[in-house]
């Protein structure tokens, strides 16, 4: 049986949820998810993704101009990510998150990227929310397209 | 496996793996482990925390003639200027110290290519300076990293002819140049020498193409060189790239492996020792066996496909330890017809996988080639 305070709580939550939905409808982009997707939209989405893949590919392969453009210093030794991970092999984005022995902690792919930047590459750790990080993540996951998710696997 | 790779693999199998054809029994690889005396160097010179358990995996090259002997192999040092990277320098110093300390001493050293990272004069000269401390006779073959900045000019000045041959205690040794015959990918795109080198120095690059090859005239030279050699006497061929097809996208092959096989087919005791792959590798191709050696600089992962079934893979490397997964090697030539290669992998008691989880491919992956080097300004016309 529902008592009064539980009822009021549900009512309050419903009101908040309703307000959020109403705001999304009023404020959100007018065309978002309302019309069937068009080939033009798909192309744009794909281009937006592939542009990040391209940037990530360049960063991953030690491209100095791209690192400068995105304001990062991924290495001070001449070493680039791709020198241990050609074609982003052995990066295993599909195995994260997992306990990562080298860090002795439960880690995400972004944690691992930063570990590699700091340790083998002796570069400067990057903001996990930065465009550089997202681009690296985009390239690594794109390159592993087709790999089957095995989160947690050693 | 891609259709193209699958086709090549089937062809290689049909051409080379004829029923009953395999290397002479005397050329079986043997593996043994023991603590290397270089242990003392490590403990004495650096206070590192990782285990000092170098493992030696020896190959004794065999022949029934003359005295047994041993020689050493160092390759893939990928030196940058000292001001940029001292880690790679430290590892060359260590390898040189250990080779110098061999007792009995090695008869000679083979340097298997990729002395420099970007082919710079400063890098090549640094390599010469570091190897100068090694007093035994040294032979050099080039790697692609040594070559494509000035197309082998400085390398030639330092080391002379890139291919050579000599006989030693009943074995014919041949050094091949498998790097200098890359297709011209730079002229039409008006690349600077640095840009040309940059593409060549990227293992997974898509621009330099199938650059690894022996070439017709060098094949003819090899044939002539072997013409007076008894078909049953041992031959050891050094090359930067493996003399078969393992994984072409990374030039883990020579593109003319069929022609190489044609030249070597009549000889029953052929051993190919190569660098470039930075990993433990073993294969038998027709009557030839092929052994991949460690780099001093860093280990490559095994390729996503094409690893020879006869390879017992090396152990998955700790990326936090710069001395793991790398090292050098020796080759023992015994009088009892046995060939032994010793892998000296620093910081490891076990070089080979001990369980499926020890293998870098224990996590299955599907990967694909990069794209950014084939877009503006380097897109194909």
Contact B249 A147 (CB under 8 A): no
What average pLDDT does the structure give for chain B?
84
Q: Average pLDDT, stretch B350-367?
A: 88
* Domain-wise residue ranges, chain B: 3-355
Taking CA atoms, what residue in A is nearest to B84? A77
ipTM of the complex, rounded to two decimals = 0.83
A41-64 exposure pattern, b = at least 16 Cβ within 10 A, e = fewer: eeeeeeeeeeebbbbbbbbbbbbe
DSSP letter, residue B80: P
pLDDT at B331 over 50: yes
CATH topology of domain B3-355: Purple Acid Phosphatase; chain A, domain 2 (3.60.21)
Q: Residue B376: what pLDDT?
A: 58
Q: What is the pLDDT of residue A3?
A: 55
pLDDT reported for residue B347: 74
Of A60, A89, A154, the CB nearest to B301: A89
pLDDT score of B352: 85
Q: Which residues in chain A are contacts of B370 at CB distance < 8 A?
A: 57, 60-61, 82, 87, 143
- Give the pLDDT band of residue B36 (cuts 50, 70, 90): very low
Closest residue in B to A151 (Cα–Cα): B363
CA distance B111 to B132: 12
Q: Which of A57, A83, A145 is opposite residue B370, by nearest beta carbon?
A: A57
Q: Where are the domains of chain A?
A: 37-143
* Mean pLDDT value across residues B234-243: 95
- The answer to whether the CB atoms of B320 and A86 lie below 8 A apart is no
User: How many interchain CB pairs under 8 A, A with B?
Assistant: 95
Judging contacts by C-beta atoms under 8 Å, the chain A residues touching residue B360 are: 90
Query: How far is residue B179's CA from residue B189's CA, in Å, rounded to a whole number?
Result: 21
Q: Do A90 and B318 touch (CB under 8 A)?
A: no
Q: How far is A54 from chain B (nearest CA, A)?
A: 5
Q: Note whether A54 contacts B117, CB cutoff 8 Å.
A: no
- Helix or strand run (H / E) with residue B340: strand B339-345
Roughly how many angstroms between the first and final C-alpha of chain A, as a whole number? 48
Q: Which CATH architecture has domain A37-143?
A: Orthogonal Bundle (1.10)
Would you call B370 and A61 a contact, using CB atoms and an 8 Å cutoff? yes
């Amino acid at each position: 049986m529902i008592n009064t305070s539980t009822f009021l709580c549900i009512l309050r939550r419903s009101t908040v949820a309703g307000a959020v939905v109403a705001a999304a409808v009023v404020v959100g982009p007018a065309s978002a998810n309302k019309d069937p997707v068009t080939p033009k939209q798909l192309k744009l989405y794909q281009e937006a993704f592939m542009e990040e893949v391209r940037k990530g590919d360049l960063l991953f392969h030690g491209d100095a101009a791209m690192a400068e453009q995105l304001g990062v210093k991924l290495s001070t030794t001449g070493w680039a990510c791709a020198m241990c991970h050609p074609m982003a092999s052995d990066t295993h984005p599909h195995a994260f998150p997992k306990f990562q022995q080298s860090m002795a902690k439960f880690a995400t792919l972004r944690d691992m990227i930063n570990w590699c930047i700091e340790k083998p590459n002796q570069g400067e750790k990057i903001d996990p929310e930065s465009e550089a990080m997202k681009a690296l993540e985009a390239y690594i996951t794109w390159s592993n397209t087709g790999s089957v998710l095995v989160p947690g696997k050693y | 496996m891609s259709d193209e790779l699958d086709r090549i693999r089937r062809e290689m199998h049909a051409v080379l793996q004829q029923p009953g054809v395999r290397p002479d029994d005397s050329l079986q690889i043997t593996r043994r482990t023991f603590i290397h005396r270089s242990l003392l160097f490590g403990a004495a010179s650096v206070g590192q925390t990782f285990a000092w358990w170098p493992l030696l995996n020896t190959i004794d090259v065999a022949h029934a003639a003359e005295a047994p002997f041993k020689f050493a192999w160092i390759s893939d040092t990928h030196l940058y200027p000292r001001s940029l990277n001292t880690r790679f320098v430290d590892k060359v110093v260590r390898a040189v110290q250990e080779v110098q300390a061999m007792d009995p001493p090695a008869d000679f050293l083979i340097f298997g290519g990729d002395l420099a990272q970007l082919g710079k004069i400063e890098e090549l000269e640094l390599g010469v300076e570091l190897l100068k401390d090694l007093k035994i006779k040294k032979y050099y073959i080039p790697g692609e990293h040594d070559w494509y900045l000035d197309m082998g000019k400085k390398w030639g000045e330092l080391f002379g002819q890139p291919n050579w041959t000599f006989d030693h205690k009943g074995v014919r040794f041949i050094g091949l140049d498998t790097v200098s015959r890359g297709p011209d990918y730079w002229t039409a795109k008006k690349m600077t020498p640095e840009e040309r080198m940059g593409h060549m120095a990227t293992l997974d690059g898509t621009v330099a193409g199938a650059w690894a090859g022996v070439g017709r005239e060098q094949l003819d030279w090899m044939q002539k060189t072997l013409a007076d050699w008894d078909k049953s006497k041992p031959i050891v061929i050094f090359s930067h790239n493996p003399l078969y097809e393992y994984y072409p996208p990374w030039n883990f092959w020579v593109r003319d492996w069929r022609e190489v096989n044609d030249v070597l087919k009549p000889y029953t005791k052929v051993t190919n020792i190569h660098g470039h792959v930075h990993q433990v590798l073993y294969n038998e191709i027709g009557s030839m066996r092929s052994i991949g050696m460690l780099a001093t600089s860093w280990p490559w992962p095994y390729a996503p496909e094409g690893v020879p079934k006869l390879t017992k893979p090396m152990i998955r490397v700790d990326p936090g330890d710069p001395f793991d997964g790398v090292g050098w090697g020796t080759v023992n030539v015994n009088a009892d017809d046995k060939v032994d290669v010793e892998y000296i992998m620093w910081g490891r008691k076990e070089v080979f996988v001990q369980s499926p989880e020890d293998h870098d491919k224990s996590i299955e992956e599907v990967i694909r080639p990069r794209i950014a080097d084939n877009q503006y300004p380097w897109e194909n016309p």
